[in-house]
Amino acid sequence: MSDKILFMKSHEWVQFLDDTTARIGISDYAQSELGDLVFINLPEVGDEVIVGESFADVESVKAVSNVYSPVTGTVKAVNEDLLDQPELVNSEAMETWFIEVENISDKADLLSELEYKKLISES
């Protein structure tokens, strides 16, 4: 896991590729809590994402959950593999990004990996 990866309390991870570009996914803890994913709804390239607001939803055999954006910016790319193979998130959550965002103008208060691990061990 890269040391550049940061987390939200709502279990998303963000990896900054540079100051204004980043990839976003959900944590391994999130996928294990959700259980087997059956559908993922993603935004489209060019859509705006806003910090703290939902940009995607994931449906597991248990429930449908929102995925919240750690940043404000424009969707540069979406991982279209997930539309047919949502199980990729279950097998490699930390390697499987949902979207890549550019022109990032704002970001949430993010947790380091250590802080995040502490958070989930307490839950």
Partner 1 sequence: MKLIFEKGNTNRGCDLIPECDVPVVTLSQKFHRKIELNLPELSETEISRHYTELANHTFGVNNGFYPLGSCTMKYNPKVNEELAKLPGFTDVHPLQPEHTVQGSLFVLQQAEKYLCEITGMDHMNFQPAAGAHGELTGLKLIWAYHHDRNDSKRDKIIVPDSAHGTNPASAALAGFTVINVPSTDDGLVDVEALRGVVGEDTAGFMLTNPNTVGLFEKDILEITSIIHQAGGLNYYDGANLNAIMGVARPGDMGFDVIHLNLHKTFSTPHGGGGPGSGPVGCKEILSRYLPSQGIIEEDGILGFAHKDEKSIGRVKSFYGNFLVVVKALAYIMTLGAEGLKDASCNAVLNANYMMHRLGDVFDIPFGNGPCMHEFVISLNKLKKEKAVSALDFAKALLDHDMHPPTMYFPLIVYEALMVEPTETETKETLDEAIRIYKEVYAYACKAPETMGDYPLTTPIGRPDEVKAARNPILRFDFSSK
User: Which runs of consecutive H residues, i.e. helices, occur in the chain?
Assistant: 28-34, 81-84, 87-91, 113-122
Binding to partner 1 by CB under 8 A, coded x per residue (else -) over 41-60, reads ------------------x-
Segment 3-42, which members bind partner 1 (CB under 8 A)? 33, 35-39
Other CB atoms within 10 A of residue 40 CB: 24
In sequence order, the β-bridge partners of residue 39 are: 59
Structural tokens at position 9: 């309390």
Q: Which is nearer to partner 1, 82 or 104 (CB)?
A: 82
Segment 56-95, which members bind partner 1 (CB under 8 A)? 59, 61-65, 87
Residue numbers at the binding site for partner 1 (CB under 8 A): 33, 35-39, 59, 61-65, 87, 123
